[in-house]
Chain A
Amino acid sequence: MSILVLAEHHNGQLAAGTAHVVGAARAIGGDIDLLVAGENVGGVAEAAARLDGVARVRVADNPAYAHQLPEPLADLLVALADEYSHVLAAASTEGKNVLPRLAALKDVSQISEILGVESADTFTRPIYAGNAIATVQSSDPLKVITVRTTAFDAVSEGGAASIEALDYIADSARSRFIGEELAQSERPELGGARVVISGGRGMGNGDNFKLLDGIADKLGAAVGASRAAVDAGFVPNDMQVGQTGKIVAPDLYIAVGISGAIQHLAGMKDSKVIVAINKDDDAPIFQVADYGLVGDLFEILPELEQKL
Chain B
Amino acid sequence: MKVLVAVKRVIDYNVKIRVKADHSDVDLTNVKMAMNPFCEIAVEEAVRLKEKGVASEIVAVTVGPKAAQEQLRTALALGADRAIHVETDERVESLTVAKLLKGVVDEEKPDLVILGKQAIDTDNNQTGQMLAALTDMGQGTFASEVAFGEGVEAGEVRVTREIDGGLQTVALKLPAVVTTDLRLNEPRYAKLPDIMKAKKKPLETKTPEALGVAVSSGLTLLKVETPAERKGGVKVGSVDELIDKLKNEAKVL
Contact = CB atoms under 8 A, between A and B. Distances in A.
A133 B16 contact: no
Nearest to B237: A293
Contacts of A307: 239-240, 243
Given A97-B139, A136-B221, A192-B164, 14 more contacts: A70-B129, A111-B219, A127-B121, A135-B222, A138-B219, A174-B136, A178-B169, A180-B168, A182-B166, A219-B253, A262-B16, A263-B13, A272-B250, A291-B235
B41 to A, nearest CB: 10
Nearest to A305: B239
Interface stretch (B62-70, B71-79, B170-178, B190-198): B170-178
Interface centre among A71, A92, A175, A236 (most CB of B within 10 A): A175
Interface of A: 10, 67, 69-71, 74, 92-94, 96-105, 107-113, 122, 126-140, 173-183, 189, 191-192, 195, 219, 236-238, 240, 243-245, 251-252, 261-263, 269, 272-275, 286-294, 300, 303-304, 307-308
Contact of B130 (A103, A113, A139): A103
Interface string B195-225: 0000000000000000000000111111111
B138 interface: yes
Q: What is the interface of chain A mostly: helix, strand, loop, or mixed?
A: mixed
Contacts, number: 250
A289 B232 contact: yes
A111 B158 CA distance: 29
| Interface residue SS majority, chain B | mixed
A130 B227 contact: yes
A182 B165 CA distance: 5
A94 B123 CA distance: 16
Given A273-B250, A307-B240, A262 B122 contact: no
B88 interface: no
Contacts of A140: 218-219
B114 interface: no
B156 to A, nearest CB: 8
Contacts of B232: 286-289, 292
A67 to B, nearest CB: 7
A273 B164 CA distance: 24
A304 B238 CA distance: 10
Given A251-B252, A262-B14, A290-B233, A109 B95 contact: yes
B252 A273 contact: yes
Nearest to A176: B171
A96 B217 CA distance: 20
Contact of A104 (B95, B138, B245): B95
